[in-house]
């Protein structure tokens, strides 16, 4: 699934375990309960997507793109409180 572009898509509960999503673009996608586990996410663009929960320790993510608002989706496993 390298270079796949998902645009304005609801990808709720999709399982991308072990998927190669290198350079994929998730443009304005709802990723509620979507699973990324042992996935290749190098250079993938999540900058306009929302409701994702991605564990950086369980996925390869070199140069992946996120907005500052979306960083919470990378930190959820740590059970942190982030204030605006």
In-domain check, residue 82: no
In-domain check, residue 49: yes
Q: What is the CATH number of the domain that holds 60?
A: 2.160.20.80
Contact 16, 39 (CB under 8 A): yes
Read off the pTM.
0.90
The boundaries of the domain holding residue 34 are 1-75
* 25 phi-psi bin (left φ>0, alpha ψ -120 to 50, beta other): beta
In-domain check, residue 84: no
In-domain check, residue 61: yes
In-domain check, residue 15: yes
In-domain check, residue 80: no
Give the chain's domain count: 1
* The pLDDT of residue 42 is above 90: yes
Segment 39-68 mean pLDDT: 96
Q: What is the pLDDT of residue 54?
A: 96
* The pLDDT of residue 64 is above 80: yes
In-domain check, residue 81: no
Angle at 12 between CA 11 and CA 17, to 5 degrees: 80
């Amino acid at each position: 699934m390298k270079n796949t572009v998902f645009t304005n898509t609801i990808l709720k509960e999709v399982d991308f375990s072990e998927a190669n999503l290198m350079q994929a673009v998730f443009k304005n996608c709802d990723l509620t309960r979507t699973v990324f586990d042992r996935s290749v996410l190098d250079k993938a663009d999540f900058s306009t997507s929302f409701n994702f929960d991605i564990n950086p320790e369980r996925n390869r993510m070199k140069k992946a793109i996120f907005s500052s608002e979306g960083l919470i989706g990378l930190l959820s496993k740590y059970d942190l409180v982030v204030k605006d």
